[in-house]
């Protein structure tokens, strides 16, 4: 651990406030909750107003283009806030967390001295210690990959806290990645693949369920490569973990993201067929439909391999909806490569997808490859991909019209007297119905399909939740 400040603790009886701003993926959303849980033990309560925060945490993402520049520009604004508060005699600490923190480390302190500490994703359990060590204006950096398990040292949220976060929760089961796609920073920022032990995950899910959570999304950069230690030794697969989580009273739905096509094991497909709580929606990034580009990306699968996986998945679960990630303008991508991607999309038919213009990440192999595509080419290809998938998404949504589907109700709806929930395929649904259905699954007949949500009528048969 690199340390540039001496230890000094702040003595302050006033209830202190923390504001966390998260960018990027769902794991960052989850990490933000774990950070605020740890800080709650230190007397910090969460605030949604940055101006009133004694501690401001930027929980950053390194995937997007100009990620670091955006962080520095945000830090410039926060520095002004810190100065204004200091003029009123109030101290403000600024922390940078997440993948930009991991990638840039001490450089952040050099470029923005108003930052008090920089903390990498593997060190959130050390936040109390880091806070104590920042005091005299000298910054602290903690971006090492520790030997201790951070999850053993993070604090559990209180039942009240869990309830305020809603009925659907994220649970990280695996972190890091060993795949080394040539465009991606994740193996460097999140490190090598590590799976959490089964007992730790179960404890977390049981706590969540006891406080009303009925849907869990298991998170990992390479979640279907999960191989955590089982209760009596030996590694458990994601399928086995899900099967056990399905037995936790109150857990009505289980999802997971993000998966790699090469890790769709037979037992995972069997689990999709056999576990009723396993939802039929799979995010399975392919990135490109050209074998030449897939090889340059070091994806370790071909287009035919991907299509074979889709066939296996749809054999196990014919109603499985798929989404994916695509990168346009990868170095050397020709119009022909791009058209191969369009063809793949036409063949698979996705319910949704995310599109990214290739952006060079320093330190990754692709960043030094030749033939970077001009911006206009990337923009044009992205628009064509989006138009194609938007059409597929609209068709997928339209197919819901007249169907009866199970909806898990999660919250009051947009209008008075309405409640809102989700289908197994992640459509938002609104119905006129009683608030006491929140936390339960009920059958809904879809009578209207909008751009962003569906509207329906409650059916007769209700499936009671078990809590």
Binding residues (CB under 6 A) for ligand 5AD: these are 63, 183-184, 285, 287, 325, 327, 356, 358-359, 361
Q: Applying CB under 6 A, does 187 fall inside the site for ligand SF4?
A: yes
Quick one: 35 or 184, whose CB is closer to ligand SF4?
A: 184
E-strand ranges in 307-427 read 321-328, 352-357, 404-412, 418-422
CB of 361 to ligand SF4, least distance (A): 10
Q: How far apart are CA 421 and CA 309, in angstroms?
A: 30
Tokens of 56: 């401001």
Q: Applying CB under 6 A, does 328 fall inside the site for ligand SF4?
A: no
Using CB under 6 A, which of 38, 55, 181, 408 touches ligand SF4? 181
- CB contact at 8 A, 285 and 309: no
Residue 63 binds which entry of ligand SF4, ligand 5AD, none, CB below 5-8 Å type-dependent: ligand 5AD
Give the β-pairing of 404-412 and 441-449. Answer: antiparallel
Q: How far apart are CA 346 and CA 106, in angstroms?
A: 46
CB of 366 to ligand 5AD, least distance (A): 7
CB of 55 to ligand SF4, least distance (A): 30
Name every residue whose Cβ is closer than 8 Å to that of residue 429 and which is 6 or more positions away in sequence. 405, 407, 420, 421, 422, 423, 444, 446, 453, 454, 455, 456
Quick one: 260 or 283, whose CB is closer to ligand SF4?
A: 260
Residue 251 binds which entry of ligand 5AD, ligand SF4, none, CB below 5-8 Å type-dependent: none
Quick one: 211 or 259, whose CB is closer to ligand SF4?
A: 259
Quick one: 28 or 423, whose CB is closer to ligand 5AD?
A: 28
CB of 199 to ligand 5AD, least distance (A): 30
Tokens of 145: 């990959």
Tokens of 357: 């213009």
Bin 98: left if φ > 0, else alpha if -120 < ψ < 50, else beta: left
Using CB under 6 A, which of 184, 219, 353, 454 touches ligand SF4? 184
Quick one: 117 or 356, whose CB is closer to ligand 5AD?
A: 356
Phi, psi dihedral angles at 66 (to 5 degrees): 55, 30
Quick one: 3 or 359, whose CB is closer to ligand 5AD?
A: 359
Q: Applying CB under 6 A, does 260 fall inside the site for ligand SF4?
A: yes
- CB contact at 8 A, 118 and 95: yes
CB of 359 to ligand 5AD, least distance (A): 4
Q: Where are the alpha helices (DSSP H) in 61-122?
A: 67-87, 98-104, 106-111
Q: Which helix (H) or strand (E) holds 128?
A: helix 127-133
Residue 269 binds which entry of ligand SF4, ligand 5AD, none, CB below 5-8 Å type-dependent: none
Q: Which stretch binds ligand SF4 (CB under 6 A): 70-78, 180-188, 331-339, 432-440?
A: 180-188
Residue 221 binds which entry of ligand SF4, ligand 5AD, none, CB below 5-8 Å type-dependent: ligand SF4
Q: Applying CB under 6 A, does 186 fall inside the site for ligand SF4?
A: yes
Quick one: 208 or 322, whose CB is closer to ligand SF4?
A: 322
Name every residue whose Cβ is closer than 8 Å to that of residue 307 and which is 6 or more positions away in sequence. 344, 347, 348
Q: How far apart are CA 170 and CA 209, in angstroms?
A: 12
CB of 154 to ligand 5AD, least distance (A): 24
Q: Applying CB under 6 A, does 180 fall inside the site for ligand SF4?
A: yes
> Which residues inside 417-456 make contact with ligand SF4, applying CB under 6 A?
none
Q: Which residues pair with 127 in a beta bridge?
A: none
Q: Applying CB under 6 A, does 354 fall inside the site for ligand SF4?
A: no
CA distances from 337 to 262, 309, 331 (A): 22, 21, 11
**Contact positions toward ligand SF4, by CB under 6 A?**
177, 179-181, 184, 186-187, 221-222, 260
């Amino acid at each position: 651990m690199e340390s540039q400040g001496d230890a000094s603790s702040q003595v302050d009886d006033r209830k202190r406030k923390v504001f966390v701003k998260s960018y990027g993926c769902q794991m960052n959303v989850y990490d933000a909750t774990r950070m605020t849980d740890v800080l709650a033990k230190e007397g910090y309560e969460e605030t949604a107003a940055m101006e009133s925060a004694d501690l401001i945490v930027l929980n950053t993402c390194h995937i997007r283009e100009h990620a670091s520049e955006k962080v520095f520009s945000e830090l410039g604004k926060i520095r002004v806030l810190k100065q204004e508060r200091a003029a009123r005699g109030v101290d403000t600490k600024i922390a940078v967390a997440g993948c930009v923190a991991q990638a840039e480390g001490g450089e952040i302190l050099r470029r923005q001295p108003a930052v008090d500490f920089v903390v990498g994703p593997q060190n959130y359990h050390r936040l109390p210690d880091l806070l104590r060590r920042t005091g005299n204006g000298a910054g602290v950096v903690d971006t090492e990959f520790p030997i201790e398990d951070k999850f053993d040292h993070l604090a559990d949220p209180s039942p009240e806290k869990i309830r305020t976060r809603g009925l659907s929760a994220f649970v990280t089961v695996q972190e890091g990645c060993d795949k080394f796609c040539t465009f991606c920073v994740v193996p460097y920022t999140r490190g090598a693949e590590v799976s959490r032990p089964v007992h730790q995950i179960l404890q977390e899910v049981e706590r969540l369920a006891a406080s009303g959570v009925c849907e869990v999304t298991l998170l990992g950069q390479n979640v279907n490569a999960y191989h955590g230690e089982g209760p009596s030794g030996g590694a458990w697969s994601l399928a086995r973990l899900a099967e056990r989580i399905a037995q936790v009273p109150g857990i009505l739905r289980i999802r997971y993201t993000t998966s790699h096509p090469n890790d769709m094991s037979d037992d995972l497909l069997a689990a999709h067929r056999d576990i009723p709580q396993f939802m039929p929606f799979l995010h399975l990034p392919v990135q490109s439909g050209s074998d030449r580009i897939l090889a340059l990306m070091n994806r370790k699968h071909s287009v035919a391999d991907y299509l074979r996986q889709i066939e296996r998945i749809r054999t196990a679960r014919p109603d499985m909806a798929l989404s994916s990630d695509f990168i346009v303008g990868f170095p050397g991508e020709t119009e022909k490569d791009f058209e191969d991607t369009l063809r793949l999309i036409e063949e698979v038919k996705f319910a949704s997808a995310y599109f990214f213009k290739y952006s060079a990440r320093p330190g990754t192999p692709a960043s030094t490859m030749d033939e970077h595509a001009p911006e206009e080419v990337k923009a044009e290809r992205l628009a064509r991909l989006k138009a194609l998938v938007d059409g597929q998404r609209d068709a997928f949504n339209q197919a819901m019209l007249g169907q009866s589907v199970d909806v898990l109700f999660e919250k009051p709806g947009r209008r008075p007297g309405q409640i809102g929930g989700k289908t197994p395929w992640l459509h938002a649904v609104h119905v006129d119905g009683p608030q006491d259905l929140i936390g339960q699954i009920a059958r809904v007949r879809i009578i209207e399909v909008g751009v962003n949500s569906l509207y329906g009528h409650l059916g007769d048969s209700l499936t009671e939740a078990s809590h």
